[in-house]
Amino acid sequence: MSRSYVPHWIHWLGSPPNFYRFAGALKPWLLLAALVTGVIGLYGGLVLAPPDRYQGDVYRIIFIHVPSAWMSLFIYASMAAAGLVALVWRIKLAEVVAMECAPIGAAFTLITLCTGSIWGEPTWGTWWTWDARLTSELVLFFLYLGVIGLYNAFEDHRRGARAASLLALVGIVNLPIVHYSVVWWNTLHQGSTVDFLDLSKSSIAPSMLWPLLVMTLATHLYFFASILGRTRAGLLALEGGKQWVRRLVTEDAA
């Protein structure tokens, strides 16, 4: 008997009807957790945290801007990872997950760019500047749009997903560029203040750090809830004529 190094539950979860049921059960809890942590984080950031020494109350947009920026990078990495699984092992579920990540990531990137613009106007005196951080984040937004566009240009969704996954992998080179842009170049955008390897070394006040981290958790939970919901919809669209979908519909109707 050969021993498999892949746990059985991964195989189980890779089957569309199993994932559909699992995601349907998990998603409401994740959404609730996201809502609760979001409320806590926003209360901590907008009400409890003190005003900034130089920026006053304008800085409070950080509690939306920074978690969204971190999500834009995290979701791209997730999309590329799912795309790699889809390309190498041809797993249908990985294809659906990768393609459903793209619109969520694009939305977070757009939120990052817009909130950054709104923050920059009173603090830098400009809505936009072509420094390395902003330019590479804008390029990330276009990469997301490219993946969405390429996927939708195919009639066969499985082939389209694989082509778009390869595109996502080609664009992964932008992720370290976005992250290290403030280190490698002289940018208007500030350098990094949060050191995840040793939070006590961060150059941000603790009263501002904890709402930031709670908001990060909230956005991550929201993303997981969202991707579960979107993948369910994507699986239904892909597997429309199959037995398990038909059974689902007739059970619902009965």
Partner 1 sequence: MAASAQSAPVVRGTRPPPTTSLAACGALLRRDFVLAWRRRGELFLPLLYAVIVTALFPFALGPDPALLGRIAGGVLLVIVVLAMLPALESMFRSDLEDGTLEQWLLAPQPLALLALTRVIAHWLTTVLPLLVVMPLLGALLNLPTNVLPVLLLALLLATPLLVLLGSVLSALAAGARRSGILLALMLLPLAVPVVIFAAGAVAAAQSGMPYAAPLIWLGAALVLALVLAPLACAAALRIAVES
Sites of contact with partner 1 (CB under 8 A): 87, 135, 139, 142-143, 145-146, 149-150, 153-155, 159-160, 162-164, 166-167, 170-171, 174
Contact 171, 146 (CB under 8 A): yes
Taking the least distance from each CB to partner 1, the nearer of 163 and 209 is: 163
Q: φ, ψ for residue 25 (rounded to 5)?
A: -75, -35
Taking the least distance from each CB to partner 1, the nearer of 146 and 229 is: 146
Minimum CB–partner distance for residue 12 and partner 1 (Å)? 28
Taking the least distance from each CB to partner 1, the nearer of 141 and 210 is: 141
Token readout for 125 is 């005196």
CA 95 – CA 87 distance, rounded (Å):
8
Q: Give the position of tokens 């990531």.
A: 105
Minimum CB–partner distance for residue 78 and partner 1 (Å)? 19
Q: Which of 96, 72, 76, 74 is nearest to 85 (CA)?
A: 96
Minimum CB–partner distance for residue 242 and partner 1 (Å)? 21
Element (DSSP H or E) covering residue 111: helix 92-124
Taking the least distance from each CB to partner 1, the nearer of 49 and 80 is: 80
Minimum CB–partner distance for residue 132 and partner 1 (Å)? 10
Taking the least distance from each CB to partner 1, the nearer of 174 and 219 is: 174
Minimum CB–partner distance for residue 117 and partner 1 (Å)? 19
Element (DSSP H or E) covering residue 232: helix 206-238
CA 182 – CA 189 distance, rounded (Å):
7
